[in-house]
Structure 1
Amino acid sequence: MSSYRDLQVFQLSRKLNVMTYDQVIAKLPKSEMFALASQMRRAVTSITFNIAEGYGRKSIKDRIHYLYIARGSTYELEAQLITCVDLGYLTEEEITPIMEMEKNVARMLMGLIRVNEGW
């Protein structure tokens, strides 16, 4: 691998960013633009950003730390998507494709963590 940009999980997290912005955040009411929408933007971009930052760090320990942060952000996004349904902003059907992609990203991150930890 020559760059974090070559990682499949990085590429999938970029797609997750776009899907979340287009299919979720854009549909939220204006009253949520500075609350839930803002939190979702931070969570979903944090995934991609922390993968990149981890690969820019000097040690494997630091890399793993940032991969765990990215993984935590996937769960934060999941909870936010559930909240969107709970509040009636979106339906289960609308969030299903994003939730599935989020779960794939979380699984891939755990696999990458295991590889870096030498499991």
Structure 2
Amino acid sequence: MKHNFKNLKVWQKAMDLTDLTYSYCGELPSTERYNLIDQINRCSCSIPSNIAEGSGKRTNIHTAEFLSTSLTSSFELETQLLICKRRQYGNIEKLESCLSLLEEVQKMIFAFREHVVNKPVNPI
């Protein structure tokens, strides 16, 4: 194993984000159950899942690809949360907390991906 993903701060923060978005979704209109709610939950789970999956990859390039997938899932989540904001769904304070934590996670993923990509390869 390249990294113990559970020790990565970025994974831990992404898990916090997942918990927060699930909590936020609990207050959304039931008419969004099979639309925004499901999509938000899938995206929020995808972020830490791809960080974890990437941590077990053999090369830095493969790890970076999974971090990129995690980052793109975060952009998708951001869009869905912004749709909720425009439609004035749910608790606005909880929504703002989700967006704030999401921004922090995005910055962490980006920085970690840059670190992984620029890390020198050790010869075997």
Q: Residue in 2 aligned with 1:7? A: 8
Q: Normalising to structure 1: TM-score of the pair?
A: 0.92
Partner Cα separation in structure 1 for residue 100 and residue 51 of structure 2: 19
After TM superposition, which residue ranges in structure 1, 4 or more long, deviate above 4 angstroms? none
Q: Which residue of 2 aligns with 1:85?
A: 85
TM-score by length of 2: 0.88
Aligned twin of 1:105? 105
Match of residue 21 from structure 2: 20
In structure 1, distance between residues paired with 2:91 and 2:40: 17
**1:88 shift after superposition:** 2.3
Q: 2 CA distance for matches of 1:54 and 1:41?
A: 20
Greater Rg, structure 1 or structure 2? 2
Give the whole-Å Cα distance in 1 for the aligned partners of 2:90 and 2:25: 10
- Whether the aligned pair in 2 keeps the contact of 1:4 and 1:10 (CA below 8 Å) is yes
Q: Show the counterpart of 2:96.
A: 96
Task: Name 1:73's counterpart in structure 2.
Answer: 73
Please state whether the residue corresponding to 2:58 is helix, strand or coil: coil
- CA deviation vs aligned residue, 1:62-88 (integer Å, no higher than 9, x gap): 100000110111111111111012122
Question: Which stretches in structure 2 are left out of the alignment for 5+ residues?
Answer: 120-124
Distance in 2 (alpha carbons) for counterparts of 1:2 and 1:112: 12
d(CA) in 1 for partners of 2:9 and 2:55? 14
Which runs of 5 or more residues in structure 1 are unaligned? none
Q: Once the two structures are aligned, what percentage of the paired residues are identical?
A: 27
**Contact 1:85–1:91 (CA<8 Å) still a contact in 2?**
no
Q: How many residues align?
A: 118
In the alignment, is residue 49 of structure 1 matched against residue 52 of structure 2?
Answer: no
Query: Alignment partner of 2:34: what SS?
Result: coil
> For residue 15 of structure 1, what is the amino acid of its counterpart?
D
RMSD (Å), alpha carbons: 1.6
